[in-house]
Structure 1
Amino acid sequence: MALPLPTGEFGAYLFDCDGTIADSMPLHHVAWTAALHEWGCEFPEELFYAWGGRPVADIVADLNERHGLAMPVEAVLRRQEELYEQALPRLTAVPEVLAHIEDAHGRVPFAVVSGSTREGVTGSLRTLGLLDRFDLLVCAGEYARAKPAPDAFLTAARLLDVAPESCLVFEDTDLGIQAATAAGMASVRVPHPRERAAAL
């Protein structure tokens, strides 16, 4: 399944990581499920995808409220990342996005703009052999407000010295698309794994 781009010339490509470059969402869900099980908490797949792009702290806070729990955010985050790292050997790239990375690399600057930690993003990109393709990483904690606020994408545009309206964003979540629109950027929505499978 090809991933069509908007018409026009773009001065930079900005990519979300999880679910966009890395086909990591199924692996993340398994890690979340295992980590949360240790605190007696469930995180159904449908809710996991609906909350895609949200900061980890917000996810844990909302799960605590829903289930009447008091899970420690940092401990859950560390455990989830530890379990995800164990699954990294099974990680693959999203083929439709990889095709655009290979085609445009060297012609326009690339940035990863993610709500995940720098360690998590670096680990995924290194596993995929793609870390050296990106001029810039903008990760959790490196901008003021999370998606759907435009801060992360505007930070990347500023650091790349490219006007926001000249940037093209690749995103798999509604929050990410909203953030790109708020930043004045064109965007491409990357289908979720189940959507890609249904299109085969």
Structure 2
Amino acid sequence: MLLPLPDGEFKAYLFDCDGTITDSMPAHHRAWLAALGEWGGDFPRDLFYAWGGRTVVDVITDLNALQGLTMPVAEVAARREELFQAMLPEIGAVPGVLEHIDAAYRRIPFAVVSGSTRESVTASLSALDLLDRFEALVCAEDYARPKPDPEGYLLAARLLGADPADCLVFEDTELGVAAAEAAGMRYVRVPPPWER
């Protein structure tokens, strides 16, 4: 399933990672449920997908508030990452996105803009043997204001030397699409797993 691109010439492709390059959202959800469950927390599937693109710290903090819990943010985040990385061998690439990466590689520079940590993004892309395709990684620790703020996408454009208007964003979440629009970039919406 090749995803249709908007008309025009693009000088850079910017990709979200989880759910966009890597078909990892179901595994992330399982890791979240297991890690949170150890502290009495829960993360219903609809809320998990609605909050796609948010940082791990923000998710744990807001789940604590919503569920009246005091889960230790750093410990839960580390445990979730440990559980997720154990699942990496079962995760593949999103086919329609992988086809665009293969077709444009070496013609157009690529960057990743993710709300996940550099450790998580690097591990995911390495597991798929795709890490070397990306000239820049912009991860949660690289910017102050998460999606839907455009900061991460604007930083990626600067790192690639591209004007934001010449960048095409691949995103699977509403927050990510809003960030791309706020950055003045066109985008491709990557459908969720159940629509593919």
Name the TM tier (shorter chain): over 0.9
1:28-177 to structure 2, matched below 5 A, reads 28-177=28-177
Cα deviations by residue, 1:93-117 (Å, 9 ceiling, x for unpaired): 0000000000000110000110000
Structure 1, unpaired ranges of 5+:
none
Q: Distance in 1 between matches of 2:27 and 2:99?
A: 22
Q: Distance in 2 between matches of 1:188 and 1:73?
A: 33
Aligned CA-pair RMSD: 0.6
Tell me which amino acid in the other structure corresponds to 1:24: S
Q: Distance in 2 between matches of 1:74 and 1:192?
A: 28
Q: Distance in 2 between matches of 1:58 and 1:85?
A: 20
Q: Distance in 2 between matches of 1:53 and 1:127?
A: 21
Cα deviations by residue, 1:78-132 (Å, 9 ceiling, x for unpaired): 0000000110110100000000000000110000110000000000000001011
Partner of 2:9: 9
Runs of 4+ residues over 3 Å off in structure 1 = none
- TM-score by structure 1 length? 0.97
Q: Distance in 1 between matches of 2:144 and 2:61?
A: 19
Q: Distance in 2 between matches of 1:50 and 1:136?
A: 27
Structure 2, unpaired ranges of 5+:
none
- TM-score by structure 2 length? 0.99
Corresponding residue SS for 2:148: coil
Tell me which amino acid in the other structure corresponds to 1:158: R
Tell me which amino acid in the other structure corresponds to 1:155: L
Q: Distance in 2 between matches of 1:168 and 1:2?
A: 15
Tell me which amino acid in the other structure corresponds to 1:189: R
Deviates more, 1:178-187 or 1:59-68: 59-68
Tell me which amino acid in the other structure corresponds to 1:142: D
Corresponding residue SS for 1:180: helix
Corresponding residue SS for 1:19: coil
How many residues of Structure 1 are paired with residues of Structure 2 in the alignment?
196
Shift of 1:2: 2.4
Q: Distance in 2 between matches of 1:18 and 1:193?
A: 12
Tell me which amino acid in the other structure corresponds to 1:111: A
Partner of 1:182: 182
Shift of 1:27: 0.3
Q: Distance in 2 between matches of 1:2 and 1:14?
A: 17
